[in-house]
Amino acid sequence: MQWKLFADLAETAGTRTVSLDADCDTVGDALDTLLSSRPALEARVLDDDGDVRDHINVLRNGENVFTGEGLDTPVDADDELALFPPVSGG
Amino acid sequence: MSDLSLDATQLDRYSRHIIMDEVGPEGQKKLLDGRVLVVGAGGLGAPVIQYLAAAGVGTIGVADNDVVERSNLQRQVIHADADVGVPKVESAANFVTRLNPDVTVEQHHLRVGPDNVESLVADYDVVVDASDNFQTRYVVNDACRLAEIPVAHGAIYKFEGQATTLVPGGPCYRCLFPEAPEPGTVPDCATTGVLGVLPGTLGCIQATEAVKLLIDAGEPLAGKLLFYDAMEMSFETVPYRQNPDCPVCGDDPISSVDEVEYTGGCAVRAD
């Protein structure tokens, strides 16, 4: 599966896409794997309690996971996952 | 056509609209009778004002408290070198006057905030959010939803843009992003830079949405967030839903923007 990162999240991570080879069962597993080796991104995405910040959306194949099972949403090897924040420039 | 009171000059000026069934003289009359508020006369607002004025939107309100700076001119295409130091609302009005005498510009030289937003938006059919900060974006979303005024939203970051249209009955901006990032979390254009043509693309999408809303044609970009990536030259659309717990458009909504603290995360007070 692959993570796609938008706006300042991509800059914080230093890349727009991250392919995961790890065995992940859920979106939460895939998020942990993404963030585990990227402390700056982890600090940007998670709040002090370890929850995904309110303004960051997590998508699985174009669907917001928080309208369904959240981070417990199961993932398949060919899924595309995405993290996007709002932007404010005008 | 004469009963729709378009004069000969207007029939000529808007002939490429009028000839199409989807617009026609009726649609053009709706545009001429339409009232659109553009919040922000910067990178996004410039092409929005340009195309709405060209289309013959009869009244365009422009709200902005800035003056034109030279560093704006790389992207804010309605302002010119000679306008440096002039209020953007005035420069915008001068641009529109030259472009189309059918259009009246209402200049609101102010920063849109909780104290003035409700009376400001009340007079308009459609609001275009072309602002450059989260506080204004949340205050515009909240006030427009409470007043049931549709909003064509657009926002940019370096080489990327986001657009969505917030229509009464559909999800609002808070359904997508419940609270703003804390100030300083997401850097602004002055800090990061922005590709000059980027707001041109996004602003044209917002102007398109505003025109569709005025003539009641096509499908608005409601419940969908459009991502544009200039570097990849890609567009992606992601659906989003109304949040029943949304404090502005959910089951138990606030009654006024007075219930929101428009600092930090722009959170609705939990009382």
Question: CATH number, domain at B49?
Answer: 3.40.50.720
What pLDDT score does B189 carry?
76
Q: What is the pLDDT of residue B2?
A: 44
Q: CA of B78, closest CA in chain A: separation in Å?
A: 14
Q: Which of B112, B159, B174, B177 to mutate to test the interface with A (most CBs of A within 10 A)?
A: B177
Q: Is the pLDDT of residue B182 over 70?
A: yes
Determine, yes or no, domain membership for B14: no
Asked if the model's pLDDT at residue B1 lies above 50, the reply is no
Domain-embedded: residue B195: yes
What is the C-alpha end-to-end distance of chain B, expressed in Å? 56
Q: Which of residues 112-141 of B touch A (CB under 8 A)?
A: 130-134, 137
Contact B105, B35 (CB under 8 A): no
* Residues of B whose CB is below 8 A from A15: none
Is residue B231 pLDDT above 50, yes or no?
yes
Contact between B42 and A90 using a beta-carbon 8 Å cutoff: yes
pLDDT at B131 over 50: yes
Are the C-beta atoms of B40 and B76 separated by less than 8 Å? Answer: no
Per-residue pLDDT reduced to its tens digit, A11-70: 999 999 999 988 899 999 999 999 999 999 999 999 999 999 999 999 999 888 988 899
For residues B3-15, give the mean pLDDT. 90
Stretch 192-211 of chain B: residues touching chain A, C-beta under 8 Å: 192, 194, 199
Name the phi and psi angles at B192, rounded to 5: -95, -25
State whether A8 and B161 contact (CB < 8 Å): no
**Which pLDDT score, from 0 to 100, does residue A62 have?**
86
Cβ contacts (< 8 Å) between A59 and chain B: which residues? 238
Is B152's pLDDT higher than 70?
A: yes
Kindly tell me if the per-residue pLDDT of B271 is higher than 80.
no
For residue B98, tell me if it sits in a domain: yes
Mean pLDDT of chain B: 95
Question: Based on the structure, what is the number of domains in chain B?
Answer: 1
Q: Mean of the pLDDT values across residues B45-58?
A: 98
Q: Please name the member of A7, A86, A89 whose beta carbon is closest to the beta carbon of B177.
A: A86
Within a domain: B9: no
CA distance A42 to A36: 7
Give B268 or B167, the one with higher predicted confidence.
B167
Instruction: Return the pLDDT at B265.
Output: 87
pTM of the model: 0.95
What chain A holds in terms of domains, given with CATH numbers, is: 2-84 (3.10.20.30)
Which residues are B158's β-sheet partners? B194
Q: What is the mean pLDDT of residues B192-199?
A: 96
Write out the residue range of the structural domain in which residue B259 sits.
Answer: 34-268
Residue B188 to residue A54, Cβ atoms within 8 A:
no
* Both structure tokens of A21: 């080879």
Question: DSSP label at A28?
Answer: H
